[in-house]
Amino acid sequence: MNNTPLTPVTVIGLGLMGRALAGAFLAAGHPTTVWNRTSSKAEQLVAAGARSAPTVGDALKAGSLTIVCLTDYQAVYELLGPDEIDLAGTTLINLSSGSSGQAREAARWAEQRGARYLDGAVMAIPSGIGTADALILHSGPQQVFEAHEPTLAALGTVTHLGADHGLASLYDVAGLTMMWSVLNAWLQGTALLGTAGVDAATYAPFARQMAVGVAAWLPGYAEQIDKGSFPAEVSALETEARTMEHLIEESEALGVNAELPRLIKAMADRAIAAGHGGEQYPVLIEEFGKPSPHTGIG
Ligand code: NAP
């Protein structure tokens, strides 16, 4: 039996997510110190064995690792920015959501004040924390991640994406566009089929099969993007554009919202106008990779 004491950790910010994070550390047996602006949110955790630090400064000194989980980066600066807060020698992992630019700026700020800093993104809801389904992304110095990986594993499946502190936030938003695009496509189809009396539950298994089938194309399409070469091995973009027209016409004819299909078609039309009609779908990366044109859409 291994009696090595587990690493002491601190969690600052006990909102819905912070409480779940602290609870998972406690459940895994880590001595856990907590601090929250509204101190009553620590009560349940204290009852479960956490120590409530009297000040945020005490909380920072308590563990060899401090997880910060606040509303946003502004809250992090408001809380940890004042001169009397000593960050020197601490290891901070900031799981508050924000942009990649904010993450890089926060890393500079924390490192200038003598802290080791990882930025992170929680790709899970509070009830999933502490299970393998909770994906938690980290970016920043690899040796800092490796030093704390066994402790962080109490939270879920933890991953290090690279030294660039902005990567976790970028993956976070990339995941959001995947989530909303799949959901919106499903809702569009559900609305179309609803006009024929097909209910959402009947369509859902078919939609799932389509989504999984399309997802299987991604590795091959990614190779085309990385090579910058888009031979039409399956079908040409101009063929796809004609089916987009069918989707728009059908939506309009059935009185269903056609904004999403029109946006999809507008992007394909621009790529075709730029001479890419004979190439395969992922050639659209060129449209996605530049600023939005002023089309009146969006
Ligand atoms: P929440 O329940 O609203 O909690 C926000 C926390 O931030 C509270 O502890 C709050 O303290 C604290 N806070 C805000 N401004 C502060 C300030 N100026 N000084 C000190 N403390 C401050 O939010 P949450 O759901 O826990 O989310 C926290 C972060 O996790 C967010 O960035 C969110 O995007 C991210 N996240 C959440 C989920 C989720 O499902 N909940 C999933 C993924 C990522 P008080 O209690 O005193 O107000």
Asked if residues 154 and 30 have their Cβ atoms less than 8 Å apart, the reply is yes
Residue of the CA atom closest to atom 12 of ligand 1: 70
Q: What are the pLDDT digits (tens) for 215-240? A: 999 999 999 999 999 999 989 999 99
Q: Does residue 130 have its Cβ closer than 6 Å to ligand 1?
A: no
- CA 18–ligand 1 middle distance (angstroms): 7
Residue 2: predicted pLDDT: 57
Residue of the CA atom closest to atom 46 of ligand 1: 38
CA atoms within 13 A on the CB side of 179: 8
Residue 1: predicted pLDDT: 47
Q: Does residue 282 have its Cβ closer than 6 Å to ligand 1?
A: no
Q: What are the pLDDT digits (tens) for 6-40? A: 999 999 999 999 999 999 999 999 999 999 999 99
- CA 149–ligand 1 middle distance (angstroms): 23
Alpha helices in the chain (DSSP H): 16-27, 43-47, 56-62, 73-80, 100-112, 142-152, 167-194, 200-215, 218-227, 237-253, 259-271, 285-288
Which residue positions in the chain have pLDDT lower than 70? 1-3, 295-298
Task: Please give the number of the atom of ligand 1 that sits closest to the Cα of 78.
Answer: 18
Residue of the CA atom closest to atom 44 of ligand 1: 122
Residue 77 has a CB neighbour count (10 Å cut-off) of 15
* Global pTM value: 0.90
Q: Does residue 41 have its Cβ closer than 6 Å to ligand 1?
A: yes
Q: What domains does the chain contain, in order, with CATH numbers?
A: 9-163 (3.40.50.720), 170-295 (1.10.1040.10)
- Residues 272, 255: Cα–Cα separation, whole Å: 28
Q: Does residue 34 have its Cβ closer than 6 Å to ligand 1?
A: no
Q: Does residue 126 have its Cβ closer than 6 Å to ligand 1?
A: yes
**Can you read off the two tokens belonging to residue 109?**
């700020």
Q: Does residue 71 have its Cβ closer than 6 Å to ligand 1?
A: yes
- Residues 221, 283: Cα–Cα separation, whole Å: 9
Task: Please give the number of the atom of ligand 1 that sits closest to the Cα of 123.
Answer: 43
Three-state SS letters, 230-288: CCCCCCCHHHHHHHHHHHHHHHHHCCCCCHHHHHHHHHHHHHHHHHHCCCCHHHHHHHH
- Residues 128, 20: Cα–Cα separation, whole Å: 9
Residue 5: predicted pLDDT: 81
- Residues 264, 286: Cα–Cα separation, whole Å: 14
Residue 64: predicted pLDDT: 87
- CA 36–ligand 1 middle distance (angstroms): 10
- CA 96–ligand 1 middle distance (angstroms): 7
- CA 7–ligand 1 middle distance (angstroms): 24
Task: Please give the number of the atom of ligand 1 that sits closest to the Cα of 72.
Answer: 32
Ligand 1 pocket, mutate which of 11, 12, 17 (most atoms under 8 A from CB): 17
- CA 15–ligand 1 middle distance (angstroms): 5
- Residues 208, 189: Cα–Cα separation, whole Å: 12
